[in-house]
Homo-oligomer: A and B are copies of this chain.
């Protein structure tokens, strides 16, 4: 979940920020950028300008530019329904052209009409607008009549925080707990949806913490105090104040900043510095700010306020060097995080981070040399704030080449065999990375491309646990440990059990738009006594999915399958259809009741794999308007129609899951835990595409010295 708590002392600042900051954002951020890029030039970073965002779009999929966002704002200002008062702009991003316009576009062609998709909120109504920049008008305006609200804006959250500090009941609760008002930091949490009580108004629920001189307020919850705020009426709806007898955990050992760690010098595991060095610089280029070319790959990469990163038009070279289409579009569509505690102050914690807060909106600047290695290229995000003005998210995405000492392929023959063979090839890959800091949690998203045609999509989890305060310092004085909803991770703190589910939208276009989905099932065959000394063996049975229901997959260890997306009209010279398979690895499945409100809203977790026919409007697995939605607009609802998916333009969906039972090692900040899945060529290439990759020779390696000049 995402929180933007403010200390009282920052309330005023934050208000000022909201009134004046936007015009300054741009300048501030640009200067940040140029500093960053200056650092890069020292490390042969190929940065094409002093900052990595453009004023002119050069590709049909390029994100909206600063001038374009300004133009959209003025168009909306002139739009009649908004003439009396300007709405809050919750999301504003490029309305991508139709696929055929994008695929048909060639470098040098004029761009298809530039359009923006906008969700705006005014007088209790959500407008879903389409703005045409060329025509300079609003060409579509649909007012939402169903459930759900657009993404919360920073302004919404600031409002909520502002309101409570002037609320008497809240004040009373803080004083009743003998806490200093100035030490309180609150986190505005999305409320989910739990029936009619809280319908018809946009609300957030605030959870508060103690934070004096301590950045890790997350470890110091004021347990049981939840304030519900109507962000439009700007009033407190309800104050829930239980567990007043539970003290706030103290701050000992909670700080994680390097500057404060000198107190335990002995504890640090010491290792010498290491660096991935690239004497000739990186092998990739970023053309026009967004088109990444590396080895046998080319793809379009852009920041997105909601998905974080969007990877488009992914193509890989075949033997004849011709680029072949693999995927039209891939991105993280939704992120569901249900906590496992039914208490009044915990039950609602079932976040839909992408749709409620935005993976891009929360992706802060990456830390050079630590989040990303040397020689990384950094890409900035250009977004719109609540008042429709542009701002820059600097260094939001990094791109780097990766060499981890791994092997691409190898073989040795034993000398006695008559062939003295020692062949091995190092593995070098390309990674695109971002990190969304959604309140306490940090989600690291990696898209890794291999020269053998494999794409590995990885999600890493770090940051802080969401902890529940308890009066107990250790388990010995807890009467019924069975009642605990998590692990006692340190004095007076329970790390509450929770799950994480990330739904990936993977619009595969293997050698063209029309593909099919096949489940290649390994089935046990029994032999006849006369047939063979073997009693059993496995055989691969290929079944092509006709409709969506055929492709709703729950993974089974004892009924194993491969899952292929393939082009039924294109085969290799051996007659195998060209395809890619999705290769799951460690994952988790949601066990919540299908009719539990959070599960209904995040019904994309009902299966690990789904396949839908391409539909421009079906991008967000939890729905377009997720906040407080009832789940009428989810992947599960769309695919209940059981549409045909054979030899059609299809979209593959994968749900990556984590169960998280916290442990002491997660305190006060969690070592990274990660999981991944792969998109892997299967009979796509006629043979091993890295057969003749070059080995590394001693002469290729650099001589390195201490960088005294720095």
Contacts and interface: CB of A to CB of B under 8 A. Distances in A.
B268 A279 contact: no
A532 interface: yes
Given A185-B418, A270-B295, A699-B710, 10 more contacts: A261-B691, A269-B295, A273-B278, A274-B277, A274-B403, A275-B279, A275-B403, A365-B412, A411-B464, A666-B688
B365 A276 contact: no
Dominant secondary structure at the A interface: loop
B451 A271 contact: yes
A609 to B, nearest CB: 12
Contacts of A9: 418
12 contacts: A270-B283, A273-B700, A277-B702, A370-B424, A406-B672, A413-B437, A536-B596, A536-B599, A557-B588, A665-B683, A665-B685, A701-B710
Interface string A2-33: 01111101100010010000000000000000
Contacts of A417: 3-6, 10, 185
Contacts of A491: 574
A256 B370 contact: no
A425 interface: yes
Interface string A412-454: 1110111101111111100100010100001010000001111
A105 interface: no
A584 B463 CA distance: 23
A207 to B, nearest CB: 14
Given A158-B416, A596-B534, A295 B280 contact: no
A640 interface: no
B215 A407 contact: no
Contacts of A595: 535
A160 interface: no
Interface in A477-507: 485-491, 497, 499
A343 interface: yes
A276 B6 contact: no
A147 interface: no
A342 interface: yes
Contacts of A268: 690, 692-694
A55 B591 CA distance: 59
B593 A526 contact: yes
A266 interface: yes
A397 B366 CA distance: 37
A561 to B, nearest CB: 9
A215 B413 contact: yes
A317 interface: yes
A640 B410 CA distance: 40
Given A421-B257, A574-B488, A701 B558 contact: no
Copies of the polypeptide in the assembly: 2
A696 to B, nearest CB: 5
Given A371-B424, A437-B411, A557 B589 contact: yes
A274 B278 contact: yes
A355 interface: no
Interface in A587-626: 587-589, 591-593, 595-599
Contacts of A471: none
A175 interface: no
A117 interface: no
A410 B682 contact: no
A696 B666 CA distance: 22
Interface stretch (A71-79, A222-230, A656-664): A656-664
A663 B692 contact: no
Most-contacted residue by chain B among A276, A294, A537, A573 (CB, 10 A):
A537
Contact of A575 (B296, B403, B475, B710): B475
Interface string A557-600: 11010100000000111111000000111111101110111110
B273 A539 contact: no
Contacts of A10: 416-418
B400 A405 contact: yes
A140 interface: no
Contact of A696 (B154, B370, B489): B370
Most-contacted residue by chain B among A460, A539, A596, A692 (CB, 10 A):
A692
A285 to B, nearest CB: 12
A142 interface: no
A134 interface: no
Contact of A527 (B342, B435, B585, B669): B342
A176 interface: no
A536 B593 contact: yes
A531 to B, nearest CB: 6
Contacts of A342: 525, 527, 531-532, 534, 537
A402 B404 contact: yes
B707 A703 contact: yes
Contact of A692 (B261, B340, B485): B261
A512 interface: no
Contact of A554 (B410, B435, B537, B557): B557
A234 interface: no
B664 A411 contact: no
A56 interface: no
A244 interface: no
Nearest to A365: B422
B576 A475 contact: yes
B688 A670 contact: yes
A181 interface: no
B276 A405 contact: yes
A6 B419 CA distance: 9
B367 A424 contact: yes
A400 B282 CA distance: 23
B575 A476 contact: yes
A213 to B, nearest CB: 10
A380 interface: no
A107 interface: no
A586 B588 contact: no
